[in-house]
Structure 1
Amino acid sequence: MQVILIQDVNNLGGKNELVTVKNGYARNFLIPGKFAVEASATNLKIREEKLKVQAKKEAKLLAEIKEVIAKLQDGALKVGAKVGTSGKIFGSVTSVQISRAINEQKGYEIDRRRISILDDVKELGSYKASIDFGSGHVTEVEFEVVAE
């Protein structure tokens, strides 16, 4: 029996996927548990429409991500830090400070949890951070630590 999955099912498939399963599994578990619906002509048309809408959303999101990546790679960010007399900074630069700098200098709000700093930032200078936008889109951003 062919069914359309309404939600992800372990070891079977993902949402909106058309799968073939045994009749008993579909009638006794998947359909009553609201994991799937029978693959009738109407349900197949509804699935196609959902997939089209999802593809449009993903294309729009991808365009936005590419625009943000292009803006972020245009010039280095400047992150201010308090510096001692020896040129070392107090503490270290964190992803929160980088997120704040991106918001102030580039105009994009990026969650600090998506930012990972590649090196320990304990002195003035240029460094790189990696930003993960999800679904395989990762970019590196250069930032310069300057004295406040």
Structure 2
Amino acid sequence: MSKLILTQEVSGLGAPGDVVDVKNGYARNYLIPQGFATPWTRGGEKQIDSIKAARAAREHATIEEALDLKARLEATTVALTVKAGQGGRLFGSVKPADVAEAVAGAGLGSIDRRKVEIPSAIKATGAHEATIRLRDDVVATISLQVNAAK
């Protein structure tokens, strides 16, 4: 087992600044090369504090604000316009950054793209869902309407 400090959110594992134990192969082949984690060291405690401070700055200040934003997000269908071919198949797929940009464009506030989770790849036009982790304890499920660009 390897002890790591997470530098980014990893679904099912933890948030930035968390110290986790994972199997050696997972750490060596995925987390460290992708930049999601760094090896834990005694000097890393200072790094944990700075990561947690940055995370707190990005997080919505209070739970009331997060719940208000969640209510606004869930009450609105966010529209995305992307390039698509015949039959509504997209050229590529909708990425978390696209969803964050569409939410900002709809006037619902700025969302960090790293907080957007798309359960399965969106590769066709139509209605889809995505989740946004506003805080550790507040998750909003938003409706997406993917339209073809003309």
Contact kept? 1:119, 1:128, Cα under 8 Å = no
Please give the alpha-carbon distance, in whole angstroms, between the structure 2 residues aligned to 1:69 and 1:106.
14
* DSSP-derived class of the 2:62 partner: helix
Is 1:137 equivalent to 2:138 in the alignment?
Answer: yes
2:87 aligned partner, one-letter code: S
**Which residue of 2 is the match for residue 100 of structure 1?**
101
Q: Alpha carbons of 1:116 and 1:66: their partners in 2 closer, same or farther (altered >3 Å)? A: same
The number of residue pairs the alignment matches comes to 90
Deviations 1:63-121 (A, max 9, x none): 11011011101121101110112321100001111000000103300000000001210
TM-score (ref. length: structure 1)? 0.57
Q: Does structure 1 residue 91 correspond to structure 2 residue 99?
A: no
User: Structure 2-normalised TM-score?
Assistant: 0.56
The one-letter amino acid of 1:115's match is: V
Inter-partner Cα distance in structure 1 for 2:119 and 2:127: 12
The residue aligned with 2:71 is 70
Does structure 2 conserve the Cα–Cα contact (< 8 Å) formed by 1:83 and 1:90? yes
Structure 2 CA distance, aligned partners of 1:83 and 1:116?
A: 22
> Partners of 2:140 and 2:115 in 1: how far apart?
11
Which structure 1 residue ranges, 4+ long, deviate > 3 Å from structure 2? none
AA partner of residue 104 (structure 1): G
Q: SS of the residue aligned with 1:86?
A: helix
Q: Which amino acid aligns with 1:123?
A: A
Preserved CA contact (<8 Å) 1:71 1:106? no
Partner Cα separation in structure 1 for residue 131 and residue 144 of structure 2: 11
Bigger RCO (CA 8 Å, 6+ sep): 2
| Aligned mates of 2:88, 2:95 — CA distance in 1 | 18
Task: Tell me how far 1:61 sits from its aligned partner.
Answer: 0.6
Identity %: 26
Aligned residues of 2:79 and 2:102 also touching (Cα < 8 A): yes
Q: What residue is the counterpart of 1:44 in the other structure?
A: none
Partner-residue secondary structure (3-state), 2:86: coil
Match of 1:118 in 2: 119
Q: In the alignment, which residue of structure 2 is the partner of 1:38?
A: none
Unaligned runs of at least 5 residues, structure 1: 1-9, 11-59
